[in-house]
Amino acid sequence: MSVAKVIEVSASSNTSFEDAIQQGIERACDSVNNVRGAWIKEQQVSIENGQISSYRVNMQVTFVLDDK
């Protein structure tokens, strides 16, 4: 039997939503073991002078806990 845990991660990028997701996943993988999936909850943009200046995602990342 395996047990999983879910953490919430927020990441941003000046390039794209995809880049923000990738950065968030990479950082989560650096912090915890056994990352298995992510659910993108929210996507937001910041606007400056009528242009998108940054992309932000909030996601839930699932990882499997190590066996005892």
The predicted-structure confidence for 15-58, as pLDDT tens digits, reads as follows 999 999 999 999 999 999 999 999 999 999 999 999 999 999 99
- What is the Rg, in whole angstroms, of the alpha carbon atoms belonging to the chain? 14
pTM for the predicted model, two decimal places:
0.88
3-state class (DSSP) for residue 57: strand
Q: What architecture (CATH level 2) is domain 12-64?
A: 2-Layer Sandwich (3.30)
